[in-house]
Structure 1
Amino acid sequence: MNAKPIAVFDSGLGGLTVLQALRARLPHEDFLYFADTRFLPYGEKPEAFLRERGVRIAERLAERGCKALVVACNTATAAAAESIRAAIDLPIVALEPGVKPAIALTQSRVIGVLATTRTLQSERFRRLVDAHGQGIQVIAQPCPGLADAIEEAGTESATVAALLDAYVTPLRVAGADVVVLGCTHYPWVAEAIAARMPPGTCLLDTGEAVARQLERLLAGAGLQGQGGGQVRIATSGAPQQVAATVDRLLGQKMQVEHWEP
């Protein structure tokens, strides 16, 4: 990479769904995707650990010359976004569950939010619901193990199917007509989620909104690049395992390097 890359950070490979949206909107930018798979899943980790880990990774990405950072992980955003913004002087886009647009769309006045336990327990999520959820029933459904199973067992596995049965059913029973995909892994199983909900249910994913916001920030800071659209992938875990998962999810073979922040 000759141009300064944009860093995209997630606990695992769910953030590849965000990376796809970023590349579609910003095809001339270079990207460095970092998957902290050594500590996957984030959803059950203590908030203090996630805050410290998020800041450390962000600082190392900045030191490597990245010009902007996308925190492509709802759990990391919930625990560490404010600390990351205070620690590094870069344009930052951080994910959060799409509660506000879901509330604007619902007709039944019931929305479902599928997310990790840590995301739903966070003060950031509580503030989001308090600010926008008056008069709306928000079914906050924790999904322990789902992100892990998508990466390890695959989107078509019996393990993932059983978890989706358990986690999606309460949303259907409650009458939700909008479902927020509050973890970047979940778009990989969006069709399976939709199949468990009534026809016409709206599923919300934030990848495109993140791409638009990043484009605005880069333009405002005069940081638009003319790179070659290159992508590098690094992990704190096992590169061969991550490469196999990338191949399975994207249908694309890519080299993965090991990096420990």
Structure 2
Amino acid sequence: MIGVFDSGLGGLSVLREIVARRPDMSAIYVADSGHCPYGVKSADQIIERATVITDFLLAQGAQLIVVACNTATIAAVEYLRANYSVPFVGMEPAVKPAVARTRSGVIGVLATGAALAGNKLLTLIDRHRGSVRVITQPCPGLVEQVEAGDLDGPITVALLREYALPLLAAGADTLVLGCTHYPFLREALAQIVGPDVVLLDTGEAVARRVDSLLPAVDSAAAAGALRWYSSGELQQMNRVGSCLWGGAINADALTEDDGAR
């Protein structure tokens, strides 16, 4: 069994790639919607939440944990790997493939403020950029729009235009979706930037990594079983999560007592 968690519902974009690759796999998904968004939190706060959720997932029998959140990966994954014996798979924005794909020599990275403030992303960019110009763009408000289930409404479209159009004006022909919430905005973003701009995320790459580690994971849960938890409002989780997932979600509450076990 694997555990998957995110600050909210964005990690469903990663879980769907994992399940598409391995439909026989069992998983527990935790949406930390009661503490969303992570993008405005300090590294210490994110580490605290990641620790609470990891303890819960391990208590449920998870033998591999996917940190399906770019911000949490940047802030907490090294801490988690140093303090727990199970394998952790984190998110890495698709800077390397974007550098390989660009024709104009300019790429844009859409991410949360916390992700852009961390050294991990800057180091990744420096390692792979070569002669390519990499423009980073913080995107406040987008996570909240996805959490509300507003994927293409006027406010969401206005935010996407505000963040994407300056990147295109600077010559970017490839955009990195550097938050797991952003793939749910792909269709609306594609309408804005047009068919010649490439949009990249790393959900499929994470699914391949999980698949490579699964032979070492002895899952005792029923094949293909999925369980859902949220620290936020369950009705909202079930309503919006079901729309994003494309199937019914019936989540249980993740309480602080659950996380402390």
Q: TM-score range by the shorter chain?
A: over 0.9
SS in 1 for 2:130: coil
| Correspondence for 2:99 | 103
In 2, the alpha carbon distance for the partners of 1:187 and 1:245 equals 15
Instruction: Calculate percent identity across the aligned residue pairs.
Output: 45
Counterpart of 1:151 in structure 2: which amino acid?
E
Measure how far apart 1:199 and its partner are: 2.8
Measure how far apart 1:191 and its partner are: 1.6
**Quick one: structure 1 residues 225 and 20, their matched pair in 2 at CA, closer, same or farther if it must change by over 3 Å?**
farther
Measure how far apart 1:177 and its partner are: 1.2
In 2, the alpha carbon distance for the partners of 1:239 and 1:72 equals 20
1:55 lines up with 2:51 in the alignment: yes
1:15 lines up with 2:34 in the alignment: no
Measure how far apart 1:109 and its partner are: 1.0
1:249 lines up with 2:244 in the alignment: yes
RMSD (CA atoms): 1.5
Counterpart of 2:238 in structure 1: which amino acid?
A
Task: Check whether the contact 2:63–2:217 (CA below 8 A) recurs between aligned residues.
Answer: no
- Please, which of 137, 141, 145 is the counterpart of residue 141 of structure 1? 137
Paired residues for 1:119-138 under 5 Å: 119-138=115-134
In 1, the alpha carbon distance for the partners of 2:231 and 2:212 equals 30
Extract unaligned runs of 5+ from structure 1. Answer: none
In 2, the alpha carbon distance for the partners of 1:249 and 1:214 equals 22
Mean CA deviation greater in 85-94 or 15-24: 85-94
1:210 lines up with 2:178 in the alignment: no
**Quick one: structure 1 residues 15 and 108, their matched pair in 2 at CA, closer, same or farther if it must change by over 3 Å?**
same
| Correspondence for 2:158 | 162
Task: Check whether the contact 1:62–1:88 (CA below 8 A) recurs between aligned residues.
Answer: no
Counterpart of 1:118 in structure 2: which amino acid?
A
Counterpart of 1:47 in structure 2: which amino acid?
A
TM-score by length of 2: 0.94
Post-superposition Cα deviations, 1:117-153, rounded to whole Å, max 9, x if no partner, equal: 1111111001101111131111100001101112215
In 2, the alpha carbon distance for the partners of 1:163 and 1:147 equals 11
- Please, which of 49, 54, 65 is the counterpart of residue 69 of structure 1? 65
Task: Check whether the contact 1:153–1:160 (CA below 8 A) recurs between aligned residues.
Answer: no
Extract unaligned runs of 5+ from structure 2. Answer: none
| Correspondence for 1:235 | 230
Post-superposition Cα deviations, 1:204-246, rounded to whole Å, max 9, x if no partner, equal: 1111100000111122x25477832111110111111110111
**Quick one: structure 1 residues 8 and 248, their matched pair in 2 at CA, closer, same or farther if it must change by over 3 Å?**
same
In 2, the alpha carbon distance for the partners of 1:41 and 1:168 equals 21
In 2, the alpha carbon distance for the partners of 1:222 and 1:45 equals 32
Measure how far apart 1:201 and its partner are: 1.3
Counterpart of 2:128 in structure 1: which amino acid?
H
Mean CA deviation greater in 187-196 or 19-28: 187-196
**Quick one: structure 1 residues 193 and 217, their matched pair in 2 at CA, closer, same or farther if it must change by over 3 Å?**
same
In 2, the alpha carbon distance for the partners of 1:64 and 1:100 equals 35
In 1, the alpha carbon distance for the partners of 2:135 and 2:217 equals 41
Post-superposition Cα deviations, 1:140-197, rounded to whole Å, max 9, x if no partner, equal: 0000110111221511221111111111111111111111111111111112212222
Measure how far apart 1:27 and its partner are: 0.9
In 1, the alpha carbon distance for the partners of 2:52 and 2:136 equals 30
Task: Check whether the contact 1:153–1:159 (CA below 8 A) recurs between aligned residues.
Answer: no
1:89 lines up with 2:103 in the alignment: no
1:44 lines up with 2:62 in the alignment: no
Mean CA deviation greater in 69-78 or 103-112: 103-112
In 2, the alpha carbon distance for the partners of 1:21 and 1:88 equals 25
